[in-house]
Structure 1
Amino acid sequence: MEFLRRIPLLKNLSNEQISKLAGALVSHKFLDGATIIRQGDPGDSFYLIKDGSVKCTQNKQGREIHLMTLSRGNYFGEMALLLDEPRHASVTAVGSVEVLSLRKQEFTRLLGPVRDVLSLQMRIRVLRSVPLLSRLSDAELDHVGNAMRVEEYQPNERIVNEGEPGNIFYIITEGVVKCCKISATNSNEEEEILQLRDQEYFGERALLKEEPRAASVVALTRVECLALERADFTCLLNDLKGIMIQEVNRREDFFQHEKQRRQSQEVVGIASETKPVYNVDSAAPSAAGEDVSQSSFKMEDLNVLRTLGTGTFGRVKLVQFVITDADQIYMLMELVQGGELWMYIYDRFDSLPRTNFGGFLKGHTQFYAACALSALDYIHKKDVAYRDLKPENLLLDSQGYLKIIDFGFAKTVPFQKNGNLQLKTFTLCGTPEYLAPELVLSRGHDKSVDYWAFGCLVYELMVGRTPFQDEQHDEIFKKIIHSSTNLTFPRGLDNDCIDLIKGLMNPNPAVRLGNLLGGPKEIMEHPFFSGLDWSQLRRKTISAPFHPSIRDPMDVSSFEPYPDDEKVVPYKGTQSIFDKF
């Protein structure tokens, strides 16, 4: 009884209900590794963990993906009971586990009030995944979840109409919508502004500015939204008003930019080939086209749209200009919007077809590996060792081609030191799973460590995991040092692929493929890349296996939310060395 009362899920039950529940629960004990529920089986029981831990996994196209670990006081199995669907995941005992189960019949009969609580918990899980709401506390999310209702729309169904009063705020939990405005030249036609999808929101402008709907929203697919009425929106999301106003302004800037671009094309007949100069206050090009690169700005003058991530030397922010100040250097770089290759290997399984091993098809691996090798070839010709090749540092551009980012570990090799030419460097750096043996052993290394990492990447693309994967870094290093016995391949893997990887991951850098007399050309001429036209790849005339969906020039939906808070350490050195920056 006391154990049940301590479970947050059951906190609203009366003593009588708790007593009835305790009488209906059945205890089960499982040994380490035992399967408690299996993905795809009918959902017939709800479970409470009394003692021990379990791991939840999901099989996606032959790969077992770890979802979460649950421990004492947690519960599982509720989704199958609530939705009347087969199990969405498998649950396995971690060590000795005792669980209490309640069969579906008793669940329905006894837990009427708790069904509402479970539904709310599922809604809150969705809300937690929405970047806008990531700043809210659990208590605040509870209030928002209680106030929201679920609404469903079919393809082509109108959700809101331009010009009508706005009293509801929407968060998309599933599906895609398009935002449209009535054409300025034909009132019977609508122009699409942008598209929104899972975890994005709309309807906030009318509520924030007390005005009619500025655009219509139409479902493109089946859409499920969480809807919040005006009074609850004002009360519960007031602290997020600043963020939403920024998003409203961003969308307005984008719409005005598109409007100007279309008008320009209508007048001139072709898009201008002049490189646009962007100003701080607008996403539209500066009308005067003046050179603002040498102007003096401060950080507060920037329109910071979002923090995209962090690198070796600082944070990556999406802004609308670039400057320097007394303490920081701001580097303006191309926004590569397709997201990390890592995401397509381990998360977005529906983007590319998979093999039985869990990796990409050979032709798709060939394309992505060729993109990475082409970039390495260019970097090495500059006498630079990259030293951090991995899927997280490979971004997809709008055409689906890869670009290498994050040169935090890059170093010129060979290099001059105290008047002497140094052929090797001895710094231990990089990501453990991709380190070459000579890096781990600190024996000195050169650019050939990149070919070892490239071999790890090809393996990962084909198999869906790294070759020396382990939760402990020490174990990874042991496997790398003894790679001659630890480098194994799944049965049935393409022979040319195996031969290529073995050549790239030769523990002796002197005879490693790519580091021989022929250099990277020997890799390009390997049978694994047979049929690939390298000149077409460099001209980007080969169609990529996957083209990311990019809605507008400021679309950052392929990047996970990242906190904006940061502390800047004052720079006390001389400013003269930055004069040419």
Structure 2
Amino acid sequence: MGCIQSAPVAKPGGVSAAAEKAVKETKSTSHQAAPQAQGRDDAEKTPFDYIEELTIHKPVDAHDIVDENSARDEIITIRRYAKQYLEGMSALEESSDDTGDGVFKESHRGALYDKQDFTKYKKESYPKSDEVKAFIYDAIRPNALFENDEEAELVELIDLFKPVSKKKGQTVIKQGEKGDTFYVVQSGSLSIQVQSGKGKDTRVMNCGQYSKGAAFGELALIFDSPRAATITATSTCQLWCLERQAYRLRIGQLRYKEREDKLNFIRGCNLRGRNFCGIFDASQIEDLSCVVKTDKYKQGSVLMREGEVSDTLYIIRSGTVERFKRSHDGKIGSLNEGQTFGTNALLRVMPSPETYIASTDVVVYYLTHHDFETMCGTMQDVLDGRSISRSVMRTSSSKHTYKTSMTMDQRYTNVTIADLTFFNVLGRGAFGKVILVQAKKNKKVFALKAQSKHHILKKGQTEHVLNEYRIMKKLDHPNLLNIHCALQDDRYLFFLLDLHPGGELMTYLLKRKRFDEPITQFYAASVLVAFEELHMRMIAYRDLKPENVVLDKNGFGVLVDFGLAKEIDEGHTYTFCGTPDYLAPEIIRGTGHDWAVDYWGLGVFLFELTNGCAPFYATNQSRRTRKILKGYEFVDVPPHFSRGLKDLIAQLLENNPAKRLGRTQFGIQDIKKHSFFEGFDWKGLLEHKMIPPIKPSVPDDIKTLGKPHLNEDIFAPTPQIPEAHWWPNLETVEEEPDC
């Protein structure tokens, strides 16, 4: 991510505007092949300045050009500075941290994790006039990060902006340094400079400037990443800044309170003479609270007219609404907070029997017929008790049977490090290594994940690591990595895992560039049945990507790495986590999420496997994040995608998580029944009776898998890993609260 999330603010009267103006002005009688500095040092001037000087007083028909040489000189000059400007903007993009991940980059895309506990946060406001508040509001309102925020939320966030003054020459942001601050320019101007190259090839490009009303650095509110440019005050500047921690904690508080208030209010409302809780179960009320929208009406406004076809139920949040009916020659009653009208619209779209007018200022929740049926089925089925809720679907899913790769009592638990023979290193990670080991007694081979306690403590990841273990202990599924036990000594925490020697799915994608749809279908189905098991247990995975799907010896896909997995009962969690290419909009915005983020991830996964790169791929974090927030409808879909694949991806990459396929009434079954999976043998997949489309090359002697450790201490790199005074009780690992 870099500091340039908004395009540099061009000076008023850009090249085209100046050219149009020049047509009306006096004809120029002089021609200069190169611009002359007028009041500014050449070192401070941008390519825009030069181009402006070349054109500001020149006629657009170029009748001032007197000969061929003059024409050539001017064209060369304009081209030179135009090229310089474009190179500068290109450097601006490329200089941003690029963890994602070019199309066939042979490196792991690291996941991000930033837990925020907003329960103890106390808002700190900074005084500002109403005029300044309005100024900041206008500056941030168009920004993609804030465009879904309610006006009241923006007002709350504006309170958090604090003033910063900079003198001419002072640096606000330095290229390459990590930042956590978003800025709005109230007065003054700032230059944008990008350094590219190294050593004697280093060059600094002037890429434009920021002036009054500009906003920059908003993606620093989302995650750490080196700044893309250096921003320096070119005059005395007054700025307003918002810091990441304050933003994420406050927006989390606001969204949590909004959700709880809405849930509690809806629970107390009546529909057709019955309390909501008597009609809907807890999961249905939760779902409805996610799709009802808020609207405001001024006193005297007509909410609905008699005879007008309506598909909407209204719930009065505050205020009073009067009812009128022609046959009664006027007012027939009034409705107050908690009461509803338009109830029949949930049964079928029909004309309104009455007119409803706000007798005071009114706030309403409203729910459309389509959204209701998407979440709960038909209203008649709900009233008759025939509706199937998510809680019922979850209970039904838990009853499915399949042939597992191992049962709970087959786990190899009664083992010590001394009972294992060590062979090659299978991989290296942030905290240690994965080693191929063999049990001395039964000769079974395993993968042993050795994680340095010292590094875990140093990075503050104790909860993170233990949460992974706690979740894995609960799982037993052929498409999920199984853990046998956890061991420890004074330096390492060990996980003894099933060995899947086929390698990462990403390795095969890199070799083939992209998969044909049958291959995509098979491995997406493998992920889907893994999600089915996780979501039945109310666990959100939160880190789907081809790197986290490994193949067993026969080519079946297995989901691994549960470091970001999280148990989410009813409600939302607010931790910022995931891999940049796969981040769902609700995670980026910090507005709360549940397992619906996994269905977003599945949409990205389908696209990446079939295309070779992710749908929101960009050369830097800034552009990638803007594309995600903008939405999938703006993504160029490859022409070789089938109609079924395109439709499935579009429904999974729905920006509103409540309406995302898989999060709706029938849950994951809606995805499994989609036309893209038509005819797929789900039972055969679970029982491993299918022939996988990829056959891994596995050595006959499995003990030769991996890379020899060449007689080094297989655990400790150099220098020796120090001891750590951390001995967690692995039998009683419990999850800490996650906001």
When normalised by structure 2's length, the TM-score is 0.35
RCO greater where, 1 or 2, for CA within 8 Å and sep 6 or more? 2
